[in-house]
Amino acid sequence: MNRTLIMIRHAKSSWANPLQSDFERPLNERGKTEAPEMGARLKKLGIKPDLIISSTAKRTKQTAKKIAHELDYKTDDIKWEEKLYHCIPQVIEEVIYEVDDKAKTIIIVAHNPGITDFVNQLAPGFLIDTMPTCGVVGAKLQTAEWNNFSISKREVFMYEYPGKNDSTK
């Protein structure tokens, strides 16, 4: 059975308030624009999530909501997962293991450096230096159950980010 995993790094965040905690940093203007643009790009590519899971940090919540809106996914149905905040790849795997098998396509919104490390372990031959803000990596999995993620055959089919194919950025 084929399943689809979409990994998204939060959009560009604001550093305007140096006294603000990292967890509470919001999106900046660029991030507020790029998140819905990436959601629209995913919709154009035919991505229809059964589940969106996001870190509870402010910038990831804002990113997840903007992408969900573009994908006609109810923001009330987003699963908020505190342990995705600055986690290691093994924690992302734990989150995947917990997904109900009724969900065929899931989106996870998280942070660097963990998300870069995770996507670099997704499939042979796929390697990036760093996941750009609002970057998206999609993988197809051959498995009947999400809790078999680590032993499933996986292939990266998508790597998108704001400004890709745009020589002005």
Let me know if residue 112 belongs to a domain: yes
Angle at 160 between CA 109 and CA 15, to 5 degrees: 55
Let me know if residue 141 belongs to a domain: yes
Let me know if residue 50 belongs to a domain: yes
**pLDDT tens string 25-59:** 999 999 999 999 999 999 999 999 999 999 999 99
Let me know if residue 153 belongs to a domain: yes
Let me know if residue 168 belongs to a domain: no
Q: How confident is the model at residue 166 (pLDDT cuts 50, 70, 90)?
A: low
110 or 165, greater pLDDT: 110
**pLDDT tens string 96-155:** 999 999 999 999 999 999 999 999 999 989 999 999 999 999 999 999 999 999 999 999
Count of the separate structural domains present in the chain: 1
| Residue 100 domain boundaries | 2-160
Give me the DSSP letters along 9-53: E---B--S-TTS-GGG--B-HHHHHHHHHHHHHHHHTT---SEEE
Predicted pLDDT at 167: 47
The CATH number of the domain holding residue 156 is 3.40.50.1240
Let me know if residue 48 belongs to a domain: yes
